[in-house]
């Protein structure tokens, strides 16, 4: 059954569902008509549309020159948000099709060796769609190219409505802007799959995007949002509540404040449960039955970031980072649980710093909390400069997986691991509450 959020957005979105976009809009040298962006798109056309909007090229050398030329577009930026016309939610509505059932050659890109769909590829498509939705909201028909650089700041939440994605059934993505700040945009998207004669919901996703100047250095203003009717008013209020929740969670971060009294007791109980009763020593620790030390529940990977993985702004594509982090996190959960886990939720993916082309990207996944059949995995992403020997955090990812059997408990040994444990527990609880 469709969730109330899905139904609310779908009703507003259905007002703008039109026929397939014409080929004229994609002719080389012609300004992209974002008014036609509110039509049906093939998934392969999403990134082509984005290149048209910012003037990017598929050729690496030409792409570098195009990005350098974008700096001159800074004069087109609004000096205040009041200068920009308000937009409606339906102005940014997009419907994108991924025809896995009717295009077998496309299906190959999305398949695993177990004939299941690679969820990492779905993350890439969601990221590209969120950017295009944001550009649809900020579209100015008087400009040939958009002066805005819109990038992903945060994946607030991805909730799975069903755990099976069929490899031979068509998929449909829909989405639109549901809240805006001065330079930030919330885009909600829904994925459904055609089976047994109808589309059934698969997931709901909330992304937070930020608009910056053409050089991607400073914040830029975006159009305000004007809701139409009580349903859209409610959606807008939910967006405001999401912002307040994110601020509250950031304020309560364990990197900033001490654990709560309840959390302190949890950590102390874990510690007491690992003491050797025979030695009565703080240093003598024994692993409880059916448990694994946290330090033994890690999996690491390394990626060399080549130009092929670039986005339209000459940085590494955020969807690529999400795919690699997800696949590493899934592999860790699979190894830990001893079976192929299913994804329950993606929570709070924070993009702290862009990843430059040529970077050495180091990914480290950690099983940080378990409960029953559930496995909470945190993936830390950082770039390493071999010349300066400096490490810089770029992203942090949180995934909740479900096994087909109860899994061992994960036990921290150090204070740092205890904080990871509590942070994982917090994210897991948020998943259960949503």
pLDDT in tens, the chain (434 residues): 333 333 333 333 333 333 333 333 333 333 344 444 445 799 989 988 988 888 776 666 666 676 677 788 889 999 999 999 999 999 999 999 999 998 989 999 999 888 889 999 999 999 999 999 999 999 999 988 899 999 999 999 999 998 889 999 999 999 999 999 999 999 999 999 999 999 999 999 999 999 999 887 899 999 999 999 999 999 999 999 999 988 888 888 888 999 999 999 999 999 999 988 777 777 778 999 999 999 999 999 999 998 888 887 878 888 999 999 999 999 999 999 999 999 999 988 888 888 988 889 999 999 999 999 999 999 999 998 888 888 999 999 999 999 999 999 999 999 999 999 999 999 999 888 76
Q: What is the dihedral of CA 213, 320, 41, 194, to 10 degrees?
A: -140
CATH number at residue 288: 3.10.129.10
Q: What span, in angstroms and rounded, lies between the C-alpha atoms of 312 and 200?
A: 32
Bridging pattern class, strands 409-411 and 291-293: parallel
Q: Which residues pair with 211 in a beta bridge?
A: 150
| Pick from 82, 91, 79: nearest CA to 18 | 91
Cα-to-chain-centroid distance, residue 214: 23
209 and 305 part of one domain? no
244 and 166 part of one domain? yes
- 124: exposed, middle or buried (Cβ count in 10 Å: 0-12, 13-18, 19+): buried
336 and 388 part of one domain? yes
Buried b (16+ CB within 10 A) or exposed e, 13-23: beebeeeebee
Q: Which of 250, 284, 315 is the last residue of a domain?
A: 250
Per-residue model confidence (pLDDT) at position 32 = 43
Q: What span, in angstroms and rounded, lies between the C-alpha atoms of 67 and 378?
A: 34
The residue range of the domain holding 290 is 258-433
- For the chain, what is the domain count? 2
243 and 286 part of one domain? no
62 and 158 part of one domain? yes
46 and 94 part of one domain? yes
195 and 262 part of one domain? no
Which 8-state DSSP code applies to residue 140? -
Per-residue model confidence (pLDDT) at position 132 = 96
Q: Which of 208, 226, 250 is the last residue of a domain?
A: 250
Q: What span, in angstroms and rounded, lies between the C-alpha atoms of 104 and 40?
A: 20
Cα distance between the two ends of the chain: 16
223 and 134 part of one domain? yes
Q: What span, in angstroms and rounded, lies between the C-alpha atoms of 185 and 138?
A: 10
Kindly tell me the sign of the dihedral angle through the C-alpha atoms of 17, 11, 191, 248.
Answer: positive
277 and 242 part of one domain? no
246 and 280 part of one domain? no
- Both structure tokens of 147: 């002066």
Q: Which of 217, 250, 283 is the last residue of a domain?
A: 250
Per-residue model confidence (pLDDT) at position 28 = 32
Buried b (16+ CB within 10 A) or exposed e, 48-83: ebbebbbbbeeeeeebeebbeebeebeeebbeebee
- Both structure tokens of 157: 């939440």
Give the containing element (helix H, strand E) for 306: none
Per-residue model confidence (pLDDT) at position 103 = 92
Query: What's the half-sphere exposure (Cβ side, CA atoms, 13 Å) at 386?
Result: 6
Q: What span, in angstroms and rounded, lies between the C-alpha atoms of 75 and 73?
A: 5
Q: What span, in angstroms and rounded, lies between the C-alpha atoms of 131 and 134?
A: 5
| Pick from 240, 239, 225: nearest CA to 90 | 225
97 and 135 part of one domain? yes
Q: What span, in angstroms and rounded, lies between the C-alpha atoms of 346 and 307?
A: 27
Please tell me whether residue 343 adopts helix, strand or coil conformation. Answer: strand
Sheet containing 198-212: order of strands: 40-42, 94-98, 171-180, 184-195, 198-212, 149-160, 342-351, 390-402, 374-385, 360-371, 298-304
Query: What's the half-sphere exposure (Cβ side, CA atoms, 13 Å) at 201?
Result: 20
Q: What is the dihedral of CA 79, 81, 83, 86, to 10 degrees?
A: 160
266 and 198 part of one domain? no
């Amino acid at each position: 059954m469709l969730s109330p959020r899905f139904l609310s957005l779908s009703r507003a979105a259905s007002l703008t569902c039109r026929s397939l976009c014409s080929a004229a809009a994609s002719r080389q040298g012609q300004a992209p008509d974002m008014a036609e962006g509110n039509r049906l798109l093939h998934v392969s056309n999403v990134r082509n549309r984005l290149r048209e909007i910012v003037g990017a090229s598929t050729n690496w050398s030409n792409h570098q020159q195009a990005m350098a030329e974008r700096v001159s577009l800074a004069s087109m930026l609004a000096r205040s948000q009041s200068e920009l016309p308000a937009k409606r939610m339906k102005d940014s509505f997009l419907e994108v099709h991924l025809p896995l059932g009717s295009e077998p050659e496309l299906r190959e890109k999305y398949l695993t060796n177990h004939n299941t769909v690679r969820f990492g590829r779905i993350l890439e498509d969601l990221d590209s769609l969120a950017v295009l939705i944001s550009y649809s909201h900020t579209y100015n028909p008087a400009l040939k190219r958009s002066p805005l650089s819109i990038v992903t700041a945060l994946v607030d939440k991805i909730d799975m409505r069903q755990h099976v994605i069929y490899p031979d059934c068509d998929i449909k993505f829909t989405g639109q802007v549901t809240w805006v700040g001065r330079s930030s945009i919330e885009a909600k998207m829904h994925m459904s799959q055609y089976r047994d004669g109808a589309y059934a919901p698969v997931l709901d996703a909330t992304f937070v995007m930020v608009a910056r100047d053409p050089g991607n250095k400073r914040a830029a203003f975006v159009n305000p949002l004007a809701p139409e009717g009580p349903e859209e008013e409610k959606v807008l209020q939910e967006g405001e509540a999401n912002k307040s929740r994110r601020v509250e969670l950031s304020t309560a971060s364990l990197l900033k404040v001490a654990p709560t009294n309840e959390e302190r007791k949890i950590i102390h109980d874990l510690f007491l449960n690992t003491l050797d009763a025979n030695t009565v020593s703080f240093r003598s620790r024994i692993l409880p039955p059916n448990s694994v030390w946290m330090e033994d529940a890690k999996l690491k990977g390394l990626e060399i970031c080549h130009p092929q993985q670039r986005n339209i702004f000459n940085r590494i594509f955020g969807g690529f980072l999400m795919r690699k982090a997800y696949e590493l996190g899934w592999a860790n959960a699979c190894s830990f649980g001893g079976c192929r886990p299913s994804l329950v939720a993606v929570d709070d993916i924070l993009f702290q710093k862009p990843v430059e082309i040529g970077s050495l990207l180091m990914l480290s996944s950690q099983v940080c909390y378990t409960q029953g059949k559930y496995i909470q995995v945190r993936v830390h992403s950082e770039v390493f400069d071999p010349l300066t020997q400096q490490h810089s955090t770029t992203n942090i990812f949180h995934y909740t997986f479900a096994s087909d059997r109860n899994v061992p408990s994960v036990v921290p040994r150090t204070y740092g691991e205890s904080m990871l444990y509590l942070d994982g527990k917090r994210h897991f609880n948020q998943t259960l509450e949503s």
